[in-house]
Amino acid sequence: MTTLLHDTAPDFDQPIAVLKHCHNRIRKQLSTLDKLLAHLPEFGADEQARQAAAAVLKYFEKAAHLHHDDEEQDLIPMLRAVAQGEDAATLQALAPVILQDHKDMDALWQDLHEQLTLIAEGTSTALSASAVQRFCQRYAAHMEREESTMAPMALRLFSPEQMTQLGQAMQRRRGIAPIAPVAPAIGQAVADLRKDYGQASLNETDVLDDPMLQFTQWFEQAIKAEVNEPNAMSVSTVAANGRPSSRIVLVKQFDERGFTWYTNYDSRKGEELQDNPHAALLFFWSELERQVRIEGRVERTSVEESDRYFRSRPLKSRLSAIASQQSAPIGSRAALEQNYEQVAQGAGDDPARPENWGGFRLVPERLEFWQGRRSRFHDRIVYERQEDGSWTRLRLQP
């Protein structure tokens, strides 16, 4: 969920979103190339031009190859293994085109590589407009092809386990070790870890300046310690009449924008947030004797984000979301199941997200990290967001 917090990149548990994010970075590099073309005749290989050439070189020499390998070695073979019928036919036609694109783009890159190296060194100002144009056009068409066919197909066909498998393969390719499931053989190590945390403390000097990074660190430690449902959090809302209510939901994403969960917008929490967008979240990781309290304003995620997440859910969960008018009364379990059957019969295998279902994101204004200590003499460190976006930090008495 998180090495990407500095950058709005999604996490590897959403590998298709990561691939799309790579495309956006490629688009940025292509636009730099275009600007460099206009810059060179007027300013020569000045500092700005040298830096731009070096950045484009660095990206296409390394990151672009990793991205192609993700597709060739993992995404396409995994799609081949699951696609059937029309999807299999589309893939059979598309995969060779994608592979050929990669080869052609590599060849086009070779033309640019030498020219950019000389510009980065400051020894030449020559950059072929037609080579830049061919390279940019080919890439743009290629990315469009992938985004309009392969990515939606993967989102539709892959199970959560296959998404995890793809994300982990991509992490390994980049030398980032995915968090490994804890094998029974190392159960003792986990027990020791818990014991360690049992004796943990939280000092002003230990915590990170950025509370989201601090949260990420604790969240990763909660996963490592095999905390039960580490992403379960309580969400408290307050109705227009001033009365609070709480329930547990699962956080599905957290990054510098905030904490995201998915639900029904017409539910009790949805209606209360409509009247009063202020809410509080609470994580309790009992095995580590830790809690994190988070307060802020809640906004809806974009339609695209909600669609993307909805499509990534197992079909039965999507059908349940359509069939249930969350928080509304119903006469019996049988009536509820009848609604589900009706929805399942008419929905097909790629039902659209209902408009009243989607994501909420709490944008934090205050976070408190609480670490249990002996004799109830606990540690509490609070971060508060300032108007300029910076965070202040203070300690509270237990």
Ligand X SMILES: Cc1cc2nc3c(=O)[nH]c(=O)nc-3n(C[C@H](O)[C@H](O)[C@H](O)COP(=O)(O)O)c2cc1C
Q: Which is nearer to ligand X, 221 or 267 (CB)?
A: 267
Nearest distance from C-beta of residue 229 to ligand X, angstroms: 6
Ligand-binding annotation for 340, yes or no, is: no
Contact 148, 13 (CB under 8 A): no
Nearer residue to ligand X within complex by CB, 193 or 359: 359
Nearer to ligand X, 184 or 329 (CB): 329
Closer to ligand X by Cβ: residue 331 or 348: 331
- Catalytic residue of the set 376, 385, 393, 395: 376
Residues 6 or more apart whose CB falls under 8 angstroms from that of 76 comprise 91, 95, 98, 99, 150
**255 strand-pairing partners:** 258
Report the nearest approach of ligand X to the CB of residue 362 (Å): 13
Shortest distance, CB of residue 253 to ligand X, whole angstroms?
12
Ligand-binding annotation for 156, yes or no, is no
Cβ 155 to ligand X, closest distance in Å? 19
How far apart, in whole angstroms, are the C-alpha atoms of residue 341 and residue 329?
Answer: 18
Tokens encoding 209? 């300046």
Residue 326 annotated as part of some ligand binding site: yes
Measured between alpha carbons, how far is 92 from 97 in angstroms, rounded to an integer? Answer: 9
293 is catalytic: no
Tokens representing 256?
A: 């510098």
* Distance (Å, whole) CA 236 – CA 203: 28
CA distance 332 to 340: 13
Least distance in angstroms from the C-beta of 268 to ligand X: 4
252 is in an annotated binding site: yes
Residue 43 token pair: 């300013």
The minimum distance between CB 277 and ligand X, in angstroms, equals 15
Residues near ligand X (CB under 6 A) are 229, 232, 245, 247-250, 261-263, 267-269, 326-327
Kindly tell me which of 12 and 360 has the beta carbon lying closer to ligand X: 360
Which residue, 109, 124, 133, 131, is CA-closest to 49?
Answer: 124
Shortest separation between residue 255's beta carbon and ligand X, angstroms? 17
Q: Which of 95/273 has CB closer to ligand X? A: 273
Structure token digits, residue 337: 């199941």
Q: Which is nearer to ligand X, 260 or 371 (CB)?
A: 260
Give the residue numbers marked as catalytic: 376
Which residues sit in the known binding site for substrate?
252, 309, 313, 317, 376-378
